[in-house]
Structure 1
Amino acid sequence: MIADRQAWMGLLARAEPSRLAAALGAMEALPGHDWLRAPEIGAAMVRGRIGGQGAAFNLGEMTVTRCALRLATGEVGHAYVQGRDREHAARAALVDALMQGPRAPEAEAAVLAPLRAAAAAAARDRAEKAAATRVEFFTLQRGED
């Protein structure tokens, strides 16, 4: 369950805001909610490692927007998104809360499945563009060795 939630929260955070808005707009009768933490903009320290190993170092800061809400039915949703888009964070938190309740199958079909398909298509496009610029190197053996 934790890995599933991490996956859908990552998908929502990386989703193009207009796609998320359109997908969420396709759902009927979205429930009311109360803010536990209204969308707020701040910064987070990004840490890195050389080659994915070794000691971590502070790479720099990035702007993030976070929020938390509680649906009228009691489910709590959280969101952290890159940038300064309050609406994107609010929509992501709403979907997170919906995924924890009885409307999870509807949210999966209406929101997450289209976002997952769009992310896969974007990854394929990036891979095709990278493959088009691939250079194959080869070495000829010299006769004197």
Structure 2
Amino acid sequence: MSGEIAMRERRREAMRVLAHVQAADIATRMNDVAVPPHQDLRTPENGLVMLRGRVGGDGAPFNLGEATVSRAAVRLASGEVGFGYVLGRDGDKAHLIALCDALLQSPEHAEAIETEVVAPLRAQMQAGWKRTAAEAAATRVDFYTMVRGEG
């Protein structure tokens, strides 16, 4: 059971990284990986999802609005099925994410995807966050109160 949980966590972490980077960055990293034969179970398509919110003291749910999403599904020749969902209308990114998801489940390809695609993109994403934090810190203003000598 712990192997299944570890696989789920590995996939979850990879999807988090892949959802936050550009499709071109994923495609560039995928060029270094030997992609096995696969078929599209669901070609990239766009749709809408309802966003739910909660408000008030009791947290009563309400429909906040709709968001556009793209989704895709891929099956490797060895049988692994991967899914990709992204906010917006980027079908290519959804397809790349689905392919990475399927490859992460394959014992032959999981390590290559992790080291060649996910780990470098994770480092790139974290560097971007650090750069943004440093830029924001440079504009920080510290306010303080001086005690006046009047008494």
User: Match for residue 72 of structure 2?
Assistant: 67
Instruction: Please identify runs of 4+ aligned residues in structure 1 that moved more than 6 A.
Output: none
Shift of 1:106: 0.7
Q: Which amino acid aligns with 1:27?
A: V
Among 113, 116, 135, the alignment partner of 1:110 is 116
1:137 is aligned to 2:147: no
Instruction: Give SS of 1:99's match.
Output: helix
User: How many residue pairs get matched?
Assistant: 142
Question: How do residues 9-48 of structure 1 correspond to structure 2 at under 5 angstroms?
Answer: 9-28=15-34, 30-48=35-53
RMSD across aligned positions (CA)? 2.1
Corresponding residue SS for 1:73: coil
Match of 2:97 among 65, 76, 92: 92
Unaligned runs of 5+ in 1: none
Where do 5+ consecutive residues of structure 2 fail to align? 1-5
Per-residue deviation, residues 73-129 of structure 1 (Å, max 9, x unmatched): 111100101211111111111011000112101111110111111101110111011
CA distance in 1, matches of 2:134, 2:146: 29
Evaluate the alpha carbon distance shift between residue 131 and residue 48 of structure 1 in structure 2; reply closer, same or farther with a 3 A threshold.
farther
Q: Judge conservation of contact 1:14–1:81 (CA < 8 Å) in 2.
A: no
Q: For residue 77 of structure 2, what is the amino acid of its counterpart?
A: A
Q: Secondary structure at the match of 1:137?
A: coil
Q: Is the 8 A contact 1:20 1:91 kept in 2?
A: yes
Give the alignment's TM-score, normalised by structure 1.
Answer: 0.87
- State the percentage of identical aligned residues: 48
**Cα distance in 1 between the residues matched to 2:141 and 2:60:** 33
If the length of structure 2 is used for normalisation, what is the TM-score? 0.84
For residues 102 and 134 of structure 2, the distance between their equivalents in structure 1, rounded to whole angstroms, comes to: 36
